[in-house]
Amino acid sequence: MQERKRFVRLDERIDVRYIVPSSGVTKTALTKDISGGGIRLFASQPLASGTQVQAALQFPDREAPVHFTGEVVWSEQHETVDRNQRQRLVEIGLRFAEIAPADRHAVMQHIADRLCAPAPTA
């Protein structure tokens, strides 16, 4: 059965820093899409479902990052070929397990602002 999406998703690349508390190592990734319920990101290594991460999402038009605890919902590894070069790509789905109301509002406001922005003129 396919899960219904509860939130609008914004296809946007934004820097994310995250730490898996058990390792204590800070990693960086890029979002693939953002919603009010979580993010999908491109990472260098897969994470097991249920893994908790501490993360900071830095919107370009906001001084302070959005902090949250994310839970890995799924992780898929892909292999791509670009200019005859093989590259591994990992996509990870994180749901917001804990996020302050002001930070969730910042996420929702960012999505609304981007989706409602006038189209660029040629």
Burial 45-82 (b: 16+ CB within 10 A, else e): ebbeeebbbebbbebeeeeebbebbbbbbebeeeeeee
Residue 92, judged by CB atoms within 10 A of its CB (0-12, 13-18, 19+), counts as buried
* CATH classification at residue 92: 2.40.10.220
**pTM, two decimal places:** 0.82
Mean pLDDT over residues 108-114, rounded? 91
- CB distance 35 to 94 below 8 Å: no
In a domain, 33, yes or no: yes
Give the tens place of pLDDT for each residue, 24-76.
899 999 999 999 999 999 998 899 999 999 999 999 888 999 999 999 999 99
Contacts of 9 (CB under 8 A, 6+ apart): 33, 34, 35, 40
In a domain, 2, yes or no: no
In a domain, 121, yes or no: no
**Structural domain boundaries enclosing 52:** 10-116
Q: Could you give the angle at the alpha carbon of 34 between the alpha carbons of 73 and 29, nearest 5°? A: 75
Domain tally, the chain = 1
Mean pLDDT over residues 80-86, rounded? 74
Confidence of residue 1 (pLDDT cuts 50, 70, 90): very low
